């Protein structure tokens, strides 16, 4: 994975207020399945930076060093906020690198849902690196259907290929035949192919 | 009128219902885990259902500006099916979730020994997770079932103020009022309570410790019965502040005991001492 797009865990630690750091140290001694769901109630949900809230940052840090089975399990039994935190964790180097491609089932699950937040979060750098091309094209088209702006897809425009352009063009033709507008962020790909 | 429906099964309802509820002032709701009409035959069906209650359904509700929380439990009807008993083992995982604000629906259906055991076990889980409890009372033999319910609650050692005993009527309300538990009423088109009978109970017992819900589900029911009850209260001379207490502040106080209620983004009370400061600006 391209190292420049991943966040180091130390950067997240530095964002945390002291109270959240104290709780995190305590929570690391608890079972993950207890600490992970409780995190938001314990540390709050304040925004720390454009990309991170306190609960998400703490949940991601709880996953540093966790074996792949635990990460998959926490996602499997997570509510929407927990699932989002696991997806965000895959853009953090200290979580993503040791997992290699073992977290791919999580990305595939999130793409299958109809929850726009999960779909958008699934298409970060981890998906750019690990998601097979066919699944990537389908996910991009699903974003168009679900009104997820294409700007949030990390793999765009670099993973665009002729087949994706064809799928986008067919979609635009279908919309036009139905008398509906084509989303503006799709037009850009149709008029300036790679 | 702002409304918090403390008991409604949105999984069974359409997006038209969400839109109509939002248009009539429903800004928050609690969806209790219950049975689905069709019996389930394995723990996996419950796990998927619980996942929907903490994932998909809150997302659906949020698209209409409605805050969705839920309660989690093995319901009394399916407590009798040995194939569903393993559900008790997965409950702790769900009772730890932010969106889960009570243990429920627990209680009696047919008053069997299995129901006794599952009810008592889940009351202890409520203690362990520091959550309030939503107790269903049976439709058959309701008065005897309510008496037995109150005895089991008392024996559990739970504080009465952390328990709501639901689906009450004229014959069961007094005993629950005396117990110190919260009193829940389901307002239905044909069965259970109706808005005018509810108003009479409110006149007799006051507006404290009372929750009014639509309990709308997959049967003949109406998600706007809470609104209809608010209108019936106003027509009978209750103030807007009384309506706000019953339809908003009471459920907030009851489920707020979980410390997990997240009502950010809901609109504040638009009444002050019974006068609407918006002067009819909203429906």
* CATH number for the domain harbouring residue B132: 3.20.20.140
User: Is residue A7 assigned to a domain?
Assistant: yes
Number of domains in chain B: 1
Could A80 and B259 be called an inter-chain contact, meaning their C-beta atoms sit closer than 8 Å?
Answer: no
CA atoms within 13 A on the CB side of B245: 16
Confidence bin at B278 (pLDDT 50/70/90): very low
Which of B57, B59, B70, B128 should one mutate to test binding to chain A, selecting the residue with the greatest count of A CBs within 10 A? Answer: B59
Which residues of B make CB contacts under 8 Å with A? 51, 54-56, 58-59, 93, 96-99, 259-260
Could A81 and B59 be called an inter-chain contact, meaning their C-beta atoms sit closer than 8 Å?
Answer: no
Which of A77, A110, A117 should one mutate to test binding to chain B, selecting the residue with the greatest count of B CBs within 10 A? Answer: A77
User: Is residue A19 assigned to a domain?
Assistant: yes
User: Is residue B183 assigned to a domain?
Assistant: yes
> Does ipTM top 0.90?
no
User: Is residue A17 assigned to a domain?
Assistant: yes
> Do A106 and A82 contact (CB within 8 A), yes or no?
no
Q: Domain range for residue A78? A: 3-132
Residue A37: its chain B contacts at CB < 8 A?
Answer: 96-98
Could B56 and A113 be called an inter-chain contact, meaning their C-beta atoms sit closer than 8 Å?
Answer: yes
Number of CB atoms found within 10 A of residue B143's CB:
13
Could B97 and A79 be called an inter-chain contact, meaning their C-beta atoms sit closer than 8 Å?
Answer: yes
User: Is residue A30 assigned to a domain?
Assistant: yes
Number of H helices, E strands in chain B: 12, 10
Alpha-carbon gap, residue A184 to A181, rounded angstroms = 9
User: Is residue B270 assigned to a domain?
Assistant: no
Q: Domain range for residue B56? A: 3-261
User: Is residue B275 assigned to a domain?
Assistant: no
Residue whose C-alpha is closest to residue B107's, from B148, B50, B140, B160: B148
Q: Mind listing the pLDDT tens digit of every residue in chain A (194 residues)?
A: 665 678 899 999 999 999 999 999 999 999 999 999 999 999 999 999 999 999 999 999 999 999 999 999 999 999 999 999 999 999 999 999 999 999 999 999 999 999 999 999 999 999 999 999 999 999 999 999 899 999 999 999 999 999 999 999 999 999 999 999 888 889 888 876 65
Q: What chain A residue is nearest to B100 in terms of C-alpha separation?
A: A79
Number of domains in chain A: 1
User: Is residue A184 assigned to a domain?
Assistant: no
Pairing between β-strand B26-32 and β-strand B67-72 as defined by DSSP bridges: parallel
User: Is residue A116 assigned to a domain?
Assistant: yes
């Amino acid at each position: 994975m391209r190292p420049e797009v991943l966040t180091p865990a130390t950067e997240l630690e530095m964002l945390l207020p002291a109270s959240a750091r104290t709780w995190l140290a305590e929570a690391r001694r608890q079972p993950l399945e207890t600490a992970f769901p409780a995190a938001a109630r314990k540390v709050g949900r304040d925004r720390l930076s454009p990309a991170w809230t306190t609960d998400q940052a703490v949940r991601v840090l709880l996953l540093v060093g966790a074996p792949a089975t635990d990460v998959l399990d926490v996602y499997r039994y997570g509510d929407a906020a927990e699932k989002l935190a696991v997806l965000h964790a895959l853009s953090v180097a200290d979580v993503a690198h040791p997992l290699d491609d073992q977290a791919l089932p999580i990305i595939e699950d999130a793409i299958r849902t109809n929850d726009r937040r999960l779909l958008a979060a699934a298409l970060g750098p981890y998906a750019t690196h690990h998601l097979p091309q066919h699944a990537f094209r389908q996910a991009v088209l699903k974003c168009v259907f679900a009104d997820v702006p294409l700007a949030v897809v990390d793999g765009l425009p670099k993973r665009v290929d002729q087949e994706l352009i064809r799928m986008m063009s067919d979609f635009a033709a279908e919309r036009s035949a139905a008398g509906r507008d084509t989303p503006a962020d799709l037009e850009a790909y149709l008029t300036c192919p790679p | 009128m702002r409304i918090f429906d403390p008991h409604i099964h949105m999984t069974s309802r359409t997006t038209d219902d969400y839109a109509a509820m939002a248009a009539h002032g429903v800004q928050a709701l609690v969806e209790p885990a219950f049975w689905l009409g069709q019996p389930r035959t394995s723990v996996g069906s419950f796990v998927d259902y619980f996942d929907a209650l903490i994932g998909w359904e809150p997302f659906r509700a949020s698209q209409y500006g409605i805050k969705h929380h839920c309660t989690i439990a093995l319901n009394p009807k399916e407590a009798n099916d040995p194939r569903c008993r393993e559900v008790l083992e997965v409950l702790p995982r769900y009772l730890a979730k932010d969106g889960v604000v009570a243990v429920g629906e627990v209680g009696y259906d047919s008053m069997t020994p299995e129901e006794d055991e599952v009810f008592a076990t889940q009351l202890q889980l409520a203690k362990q997770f520091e959550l309030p409890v939503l107790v269903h009372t049976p439709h058959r033999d309701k008065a005897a079932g309510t008496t037995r319910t109150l005895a089991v609650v008392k024996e559990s050692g739970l504080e009465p103020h952390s328990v709501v005993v639901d689906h009450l009527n004229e014959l069961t309300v007094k005993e629950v009022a005396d117990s110190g538990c919260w009193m829940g009423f389901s307002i239905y088109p044909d069965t259970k309570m109706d808005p005018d009978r509810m108003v009479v109970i409110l006149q007799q017992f006051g507006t404290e410790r009372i929750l009014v819900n639509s309990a709308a589900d997959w049967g003949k029911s109406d998600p706007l019965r809470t609104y209809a009850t608010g209108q019936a209260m106003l027509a009978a001379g209750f103030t807007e502040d009384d309506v706000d207490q019953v339809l908003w502040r009471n459920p907030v106080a009851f489920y707020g005991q979980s410390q997990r209620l997240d009502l950010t983004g809901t609109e504040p009370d638009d009444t002050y001492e019974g006068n609407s400061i918006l002067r009819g600006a909203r429906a």
